[in-house]
Amino acid sequence: MAIFVGEHSATIDDKGRIVLPSAFKKAMGEMSLDFVVLEKNRLGNCLDIHTEQRWIEKVNQFQSKLNPLNPAHDKLLQAYFQNFTRIGVAENGRINIPDSFLSFANLKKKVKFVGMLTTIRLVDDSKVAEPEISNEEYLRMLSELSENDK
């Protein structure tokens, strides 16, 4: 399993192409890097990049919670799959992000790749520069989680 950590700056060209950071390509090691799966992350209005293996695991876990005969679950499953697209990876690690995905995440030129353990998050450069939560809020939340472990 590939492990992604760290933050890397990059630039998207005018055709929506960007090269995966070498640290992340190295983390993928011997994995087949022919395709990755892009996800519109609705919580963060950003994009998540999954290896195909990790994406299949994620989908299987989600589908296991659904009743295939429930019409509401069927609609949810369709909406879920509309958040994804499978894209090819060039030999140099370049990917071409579809316009609809760039627009969704408001990605223009300067972006950051953020390693999120088993996925890679792609966000606008200014979004990473300005944390979503203050340092105090971050520490308070960590403290609460620690208390729950007792």
Q: In this predicted model, what pLDDT tens digit does every residue of 97-140 receive, in sequence order?
A: 999 999 999 999 999 999 999 899 999 988 765 567 888 898 88
Assigned token pair, 18: 């960007």
Q: Which residues contact 38 (CB under 8 A, 6 or more apart)?
A: 47, 48, 49, 50, 84, 85, 86, 87, 97, 98, 101
Q: Are 124 and 111 in contact (CB under 8 A)?
A: yes
Residue 147: predicted pLDDT: 79
For position 131, what pLDDT does the model report?
A: 61
pLDDT 10s digits, 36-74: 999 999 988 899 999 998 999 999 999 999 999 999 999
**23, 27, 1: which is closest to 10 by C-alpha?**
23
Selecting from 1.10.3720.10, 3.40.50.150, 3.40.1550.20, 3.40.50.670, what CATH number does the domain 7-148 have? 3.40.1550.20
Q: What is the largest CA-CA distance in the chain?
A: 51
Q: 3-class SS at 19?
A: strand
147 compared with 65, residue with greater pLDDT = 65
Model confidence at 91: pLDDT above 90: no
Domain boundaries, the chain: 7-148
Instruction: Select from 86, 129, 96 the least CA-distant residue to 111.
Output: 129
What pLDDT is attached to residue 129?
55
**What phi and psi, each to the nearest 5 degrees, are found at residue 144?**
-60, -45
d(CA 120, CA 43): 15
State pTM to two decimals. 0.85
Nearest by Cα to 80 from 64, 97, 92: 64
